[in-house]
Structure 1
Amino acid sequence: MQTAHHYHGHAHKPASDRLILTYEDRFLRRKVLVLASGGTLLVDLAKTTSLDQGGVLITTEGDEIAIEAAPEPLLSITGEDMARLAWHIGNRHTPCQIERNRLLIQPDHVIADMLVRLGARVEEVEEPFTPEGGAYGHGRTHGHDHSHSHGPDDHHHHDH
């Protein structure tokens, strides 16, 4: 089994293999993963890292393993006032992939209902998910640390 200890945000040479992972699966520190070729790779990073689409893991042998975002169930959001819809999604710290004419988020019936009430069209799709990183690093779900604290002087709220 190969081992990878280092991650780079971009490739330096042709990849020797690929890892195809969902958004959640791209957050890891130490785990055995199955490569696209069927082989296995022990990822053993110094800290929990978000592996981005297009990044590479470097094996102890110097090989580069390409990271690809796997298709997964998502909600496609469109509407007349995309800026307003994006603001409401961001206000809830929901990871969001922002495109020219639509937003993509992970399935969440509460947020979907809110967006529909705001005039959005919400459609279920299955596509790779590569959300924006935001000011605090990579997008996070509530299962991950936001990497910032909310002190008594913060004046924004969470409507969970």
Structure 2
Amino acid sequence: MGFGTAGEVVRAGTWQGEAVARVVLDYEGRFLRRKRLAVEGGGDVLVDLPQTVSLEPGDGLRVEAGVIEVAAAAEPLLRIKGNLVRLAWHIGNRHTPCEVAGDHLLIRADHVLANMLAHLGAEVEAIDAPFRPEGGAYGHGRTHGHSHGPEEQSRGHEHDHEHEHRHGH
């Protein structure tokens, strides 16, 4: 069964009622603009959004029949325990998406980062789980690139000023 075209995202907590279907997407799959997605139980939906968005678990895609719920798929991750402040600094310094939980951090499985973190004294465990990393500091979603948030983007803000980027890698 085809669900037609979804041209609008409905953010988690803003839509009511039952979803007409569900799509299960990993972290990379939840970053999209135009793509045909398989729906649980069979069928598909064409997502055709005006701009690329980062979907979060619980968000919905509006179709003629209602809302298709977005869920996070389990994917290979590393659960990291230890001195979380220090470990989070090293993860962030490598611009790696990270989910912050009460007693651990989660990052996507990466053997190079696993070795680095182990050498820093972390307990590193490979798991499969949904990945919901922290969003960007300037607004909802991912931090691909350097923007100043939706307010400046909507005013047509361009980079007409200097930024000094120093990263000690």
TM-score normalized with structure 2 length = 0.83
Letter in 2 for 1:108: D
State how far apart, in whole Å, the 2-side matches of 1:35 and 1:18 are: 6
5 Å matches for 1:129-140? 129-137=131-139, 138-139=141-142
Confirm or deny: 8 A CA contact 1:92 1:158 kept in the other structure. Answer: no
Q: Percent identity?
A: 48
For residues 48-91 of structure 1, what are the alpha-carbon distances to aligned partners after superposition, in whole Å with 9 as ceiling and x for unaligned?
111110100101x1510001000011111011x11111111112
Confirm or deny: 8 A CA contact 2:6 2:62 kept in the other structure. Answer: yes
Q: Which runs of 5+ in 2 are unaligned?
A: 148-158
Deviates more, 1:87-96 or 1:69-78: 87-96
Q: Which residue is equivalent to 2:69?
A: 66
Confirm or deny: 8 A CA contact 1:15 1:63 kept in the other structure. Answer: yes
Does 2:160 align with 1:153? no
Name which of 96, 102, 112 aligns with 2:114.
112
Query: 1:133 deviation in Å?
Result: 0.2
Q: Which runs of 5+ in 1 are unaligned?
A: none
Q: Which residue is equivalent to 1:43?
A: 47
- Name the Cα RMSD after superposition: 1.7
Task: Name the count of aligned residue pairs.
Answer: 151
TM-score normalized with structure 1 length = 0.87
Query: 1:136 deviation in Å?
Result: 4.0
State how far apart, in whole Å, the 1-side matches of 2:72 and 2:168 are: 29
Q: Which residue is equivalent to 2:78?
A: 75
